[in-house]
Amino acid sequence: MSSDESLSSVDQRVTWHPFTQMAEWSPLVIERGEGSWLFDTEGRRYLDGVSSLWCNVHGHSQPRLDRALRDQLARIAHSTFLGLSHEPGIRLAAALVDVVPAGLTRVFYSDSGSTAVEIALKQSFQYWQLRGRPKKQRFLRLGDAYHGDTLGAVGVGGIELFHRVFGPLLVQSIAVPSPAGTDGSEALSRLEAELTNRAYEIAAFVVEPLVQGAAGMLVHPTGFLSRASELCRRHGVHLIADEVATGFGRTGTLFACEQESVSPDFLCLAKGISGGYLPLAATLSTEEIFSAFLGARSELKHFFHGHTYTANPLACAVGVESLALLRESTLANAQSRIPELTAALGRLASVPGVRSIRQCGMMAGIELESIDGRSVGVEVCERARAHDVILRPLGDVVVWMPPLSISADEILFLERATMVSIMAKGSR
Ligand SMILES: Cc1ncc(COP(=O)(O)O)c(C=O)c1O
């Protein structure tokens, strides 16, 4: 890299960004962050309206998280969790077990939301083999579900585009209609019918509790999760709760499952687990599931899965501090901000071009009317950037997912930038 070439042009020459049409890519290069704000290499600041892809919890450069990271760095940056252990990994697992829904007692680490889901699928699958039910090989999921980008996770997803491109590579799952926008009765009766007819071949039902984020912030009717959980239990099918997006305070409680008093068989966590600092994920399961994998080494019952950076000590050390901070103050801040976010969304609802608003705690989607069949989400988010706010759309839905530490004034800033960007859409 020569010193006279800008970072932006080097980026265009040598990188390949996720979910990005590189032919139309022009990078915004971020240099640092502070609280809810990102600063680019020109020194211009932007409100991080999507928490750096939904993972930031306490804001950027949070002093306590920085210190936890530095303290751990002074000891060791990485040592494997395969065959060895370390203090931050043990401490975080114990802290998680203390706060997750009752019955989840075992923590299996990995490094992304997709791997957290893959692990739940594989553990459920292997569990049934170990318990003498080898026909239980299939998975139920909701319409429009999104659980990540690795092949197993795409297989239990319902995003049509991904299935069109990668279909032949995927595990085929069974879809139940999403309950979003309904009273949930049809989705529940379809779920019950599938369970009644084929529980003998179904390992698990995978679901995002309360709200399907990447599907467009599709909020489920109250009671759906608890009814679905009861049905799964009654038919001997695992419930896998994917709280990759909803976990760590996002919906206003530490975990979304709490709101319906649901204890799933598997809980998938990632994103906010390290406060948004480092790649880390965890798949929690019950003692009943864990115990099926126990035996003499020669029996080969153990779980054959692991990643090089599983339980990275830096990430775990930050995770311990992040969870403590969340419980001490950041969750309470989010709970106070949720009504302010609701009020701001209420004002946006009357802006011409807004079709509907959906919200679950600190997650919101502003669905826009398309213009001449053209999706306007990208355009509105690009305009918001000119008003110093970073947003990312999901098709026609503009997502609001700010850090849980956001202030009341910053919510107003987010609202204003979004409002003017929506009002200006379609104009040159
Ligand atoms: C519910 C859900 N599950 C899984 C994932 C995948 O997580 P990751 O991008 O860390 O692989 C996401 C990412 O947005 C998600 O929202």
pLDDT in tens, 187-245: 999 999 999 999 999 999 999 999 999 999 999 999 999 999 999 999 999 999 999 99
Token look-up 């859409």 returns 425
Q: Let me know if residue 361 belongs to a domain.
A: no
Domain with 280, as residue range(s), is 66-294+302-325
Residue 112, ligand 1, Cβ within 6 A: yes
Residue 428 has pLDDT above 70, yes or no: no
Q: For residue 109, what are the β-bridge partners? A: 282
Query: What's residue 405's pLDDT?
Result: 98
pLDDT in tens, 179-202: 999 999 999 999 999 999 999 999
Burial 88-97 (b: 16+ CB within 10 A, else e): bbeebbebbe
Residue 371 has pLDDT above 90, yes or no: no
What's the average model confidence in pLDDT over 299-320? 98
Residue 48, ligand 1, Cβ within 6 A: no
Element (H, E) at 357: strand 354-360
Largest CA distance in the chain: 70
Residues 6+ apart with CB under 8 A from 173: 138, 139, 140, 141, 155, 156, 206
Element (H, E) at 268: strand 266-269
Query: What's residue 156's pLDDT?
Result: 98
Q: Let me know if residue 109 belongs to a domain.
A: yes
Shortest CA distance to 282 belongs to which of 301, 255, 252?
A: 255
pLDDT in tens, 17-29: 999 999 999 999 9
Residue 145, ligand 1, Cβ within 6 A: no
Question: Higher pLDDT residue, 205 or 373?
Answer: 205
Q: For residue 326, what are the β-bridge partners? A: none
Element (H, E) at 418: helix 408-424
Residue 213, ligand 1, Cβ within 6 A: yes
Q: Let me know if residue 186 belongs to a domain.
A: yes
Q: Let me know if residue 60 belongs to a domain.
A: no
Query: What's residue 4's pLDDT?
Result: 86
What's the average model confidence in pLDDT over 407-415? 98
Query: Whole-model pTM?
Result: 0.98
Residue 426 has pLDDT above 90, yes or no: no
pLDDT in tens, 254-294: 999 999 999 999 999 999 999 999 999 999 999 999 999 99
Q: Let me know if residue 190 belongs to a domain.
A: yes
Distance of CA 114 from the midpoint of ligand 1 (Å) = 6
Instruction: Specify the CATH number for the domain of residue 134.
Output: 3.40.640.10
Q: Let me know if residue 402 belongs to a domain.
A: no
- Write the residue with the smallest CA distance to atom 7 of ligand 1: 113
Q: Let me know if residue 424 belongs to a domain.
A: no
Residue 418, ligand 1, Cβ within 6 A: no
The best mutation among 146, 307, 397, 399 to test binding of ligand 1, ranked by most ligand atoms within 8 Å of the C-beta, falls on 146
| Structural domain count, the chain | 1
Residue 117, ligand 1, Cβ within 6 A: yes
Q: At 375, phi and psi to the nearest 5?
A: -70, 130
pLDDT in tens, 116-129: 999 999 999 999 99
What's the average model confidence in pLDDT over 366-375? 87
Residue 374 has pLDDT above 90, yes or no: no
Share the mean pLDDT of the chain: 97
Distance of CA 66 from the midpoint of ligand 1 (Å) = 24
Q: Let me know if residue 343 belongs to a domain.
A: no
Distance of CA 144 from the midpoint of ligand 1 (Å) = 14
CA 10, distance to chain mean position in Å, is 31
Q: Lowest mean pLDDT: which of 191-200, 323-332, 365-374?
A: 365-374
Residue 126, ligand 1, Cβ within 6 A: no
The best mutation among 17, 51, 53, 114 to test binding of ligand 1, ranked by most ligand atoms within 8 Å of the C-beta, falls on 114
pLDDT in tens, 53-95: 999 999 999 999 999 999 999 999 999 999 999 999 999 999 9
Distance of CA 33 from the midpoint of ligand 1 (Å) = 23
